[in-house]
Structure 1
Amino acid sequence: MPRSTALDPLFTAVNAAAFTDRHIANLAAGTLAAVRVPGFLDRSTCASALSALDRLPTADYDPARVPTPIVRFGPALNDYRDHDGALDTDRYWRDAEAARAAWQRAGLRPDPIAVSLARLGSAWGAAVASATIGGRAVFGGTLREINAGALIHHDSITREFSAGLFDQEVVAQLAFNVWVTVPDAGGATTVWRHRWEPADEQYRQAYGYRPEAVEDCQRVSLAPERGDALLFNPANFHAVEPNPGGRRIAFAFFLALTTTGQLIAWS
């Protein structure tokens, strides 16, 4: 049966001068598609961050798992699941500590991750804390260069680690990106009003899904500008459009609203 083509008037993307607690609450509740803050980082901060990138040890994903080339820095928890769906703790903590040391050596000043977390904490009214596992803070803040696009996919820490992972209890997950350089064309982020359901597995493609999974679903698309920040709920299927030339580089992390009303962060 085809999906309804009726539109949800609440599923919209908004531009704002700054993130607010209302934005965060509405994204967590699913009554907003995305919030973009143009010029979140000024040109000087973007240029400073870009000049430091050569000092960070980046690498490509395994093409067997991620078929489109994506350059990255920093460990992401969902890359460290073992065959039983649990966290490979030895490998993760080793790489997390190495990434922290590399970040310090790179000397990003101002630090785009620290700036972003501080502003989001101010918006929420309380500092963003690190997610912890057994009392130990996980790594937060990755770099991604996505020029060939990213497949349609969703992100959910509670599905990826269904037995539980953090000391904190997660209610809703958000994704944050801030771009320090963008291409002249392409590279838009699209978010669909569709969350995973078992029937989607027939459309599975590598780590993501074929376009049929979101056929006829309402969507919003946002083309980034340098310095823009974007916040959305990654439980909604989303993808990145390829760009024909130039570089699309963002710093990113996940946020979660917890059962105690705290915001926590990880990557």
Structure 2
Amino acid sequence: MPRTTALDPLFTTVNTPVFTDRHLANLAAGTLAAVRVPNFLDRAACAAALAAADRLPTADYDPARVPTPIMRFGPALNDYRGPDGRQDADRYWHDAEASRAAWQRAGMRPDPIAISLARLGNAWGAAVAPATIGGRAVFGGTLREINVGALIHYDDITREFPAGLFDQEVVAQLAFNVWVAVPETGGATTVWRHHWEPGDEQHREAYGYRPEAVEHCQQVSLKPELGDALLFNPANFHAVQANPGGRRIAFAFFLALTTTGQLIAWS
């Protein structure tokens, strides 16, 4: 059956001076598309973070898995998923410790990840805790430079690791980005009102999906401005538009609401 073209009046973007607990709850419930806080970091903080970021050891993703060049720092859990859906723990913990040491050497002051987690904790009313595996805190907070765009895809830790991964039980996942460099044109993030369905696999392309997967789906697009912070639910299909010039650099991590009402973070 064709998908409906009727619009969900709740699937909108909110621009707000600060994040609130209501924003987080609505994103988790799926009754909001995205929340953006302009000037979350001021220009001085962006410049300092960018200078420190250039001291971090960065690399592109494996082109066999991610054909669109995306430079990044820091381990992402789904890069360590084996064919059986389980984590390659030895390799992950080695890389996580190496990344923590590199972060300290870079002298990230002010630290955009620490600032972001503190403000989100204040909004929720309780500090954001790291996700843990076997009582061990995972790495949280990546740097990504996406200039040629990212394919339409979704992120869902419960599908990536269906046997479970964290000590905490996840109810809903959110994605956070704060931009410390933005291009003059292009680079928009688009979020579609669509979660993965088995039929989407006919449109599979590398790590993502061809546009036919979200044809006729409601969408919102947000072009980042310097210092902007963005929260959205990454179970919705989303993509990044290519930009013709300049750098598009964001610090990012995932959040989750747990069954105990706690917020946890990872990357």
TM-score tier by shorter-chain length is over 0.9
SS state of the match for residue 195, structure 1?
coil
Aligned to 2:11: 11
State the TM-score, normalized to the length of structure 2: 1.00
SS state of the match for residue 39, structure 1?
coil
CA distance in 1, matches of 2:71, 2:226: 18
SS state of the match for residue 194, structure 2?
strand
Aligned to 1:210: 210
CA distance in 1, matches of 2:88, 2:122: 34
Aligned to 2:55: 55
CA distance in 1, matches of 2:81, 2:261: 27
Aligned to 1:199: 199
Aligned to 1:165: 165
CA distance in 2, matches of 1:223, 1:166: 33
CA distance in 1, matches of 2:164, 2:53: 34
Aligned to 2:264: 264
Aligned to 1:224: 224
Residue 71 of structure 1: how far off its partner (Å): 0.2
CA deviation profile, 1:35-79 (whole Å, cap 9, x unmatched): 000000000000000111221000011111111100000000000
CA distance in 2, matches of 1:38, 1:252: 16
Instruction: Tell me which amino acid in the other structure corresponds to 2:4.
Output: S
CA distance in 2, matches of 1:96, 1:232: 25
SS state of the match for residue 236, structure 1?
coil
Aligned to 2:248: 248
Instruction: Tell me which amino acid in the other structure corresponds to 1:243.
Output: N
Where does the alignment leave 5 or more consecutive residues of structure 2 unmatched? none
Residue 83 of structure 1: how far off its partner (Å): 1.9
Aligned to 1:122: 122
Residue 2 of structure 1: how far off its partner (Å): 1.7
Aligned to 2:67: 67
Aligned to 1:133: 133
SS state of the match for residue 144, structure 1?
strand
CA deviation profile, 1:197-225 (whole Å, cap 9, x unmatched): 10000000000000000000000000000
Instruction: Tell me which amino acid in the other structure corresponds to 2:168.
Output: Q
Aligned residues: 267
CA deviation profile, 1:13-45 (whole Å, cap 9, x unmatched): 110000000000000000000000000000000
Aligned to 1:146: 146
Residue 247 of structure 1: how far off its partner (Å): 0.2
Residue 8 of structure 1: how far off its partner (Å): 0.2
CA distance in 2, matches of 1:208, 1:174: 18
CA distance in 1, matches of 2:155, 2:61: 17
Instruction: Tell me which amino acid in the other structure corresponds to 2:92.
Output: Y
CA distance in 2, matches of 1:36, 1:164: 30
Where does the alignment leave 5 or more consecutive residues of structure 1 unmatched? none
Moved over 2 A (4+): none
CA distance in 1, matches of 2:158, 2:83: 17
Q: Does 1:25 align with 2:25?
A: yes
CA distance in 2, matches of 1:83, 1:160: 11
CA deviation profile, 1:108-140 (whole Å, cap 9, x unmatched): 101000000000000000000000000000000
State the TM-score, normalized to the length of structure 1: 1.00
Correspondence 1:76-91 to 2 at 5 A: 76-91=76-91
Instruction: Tell me which amino acid in the other structure corresponds to 1:192.
Output: W
SS state of the match for residue 143, structure 2?
strand
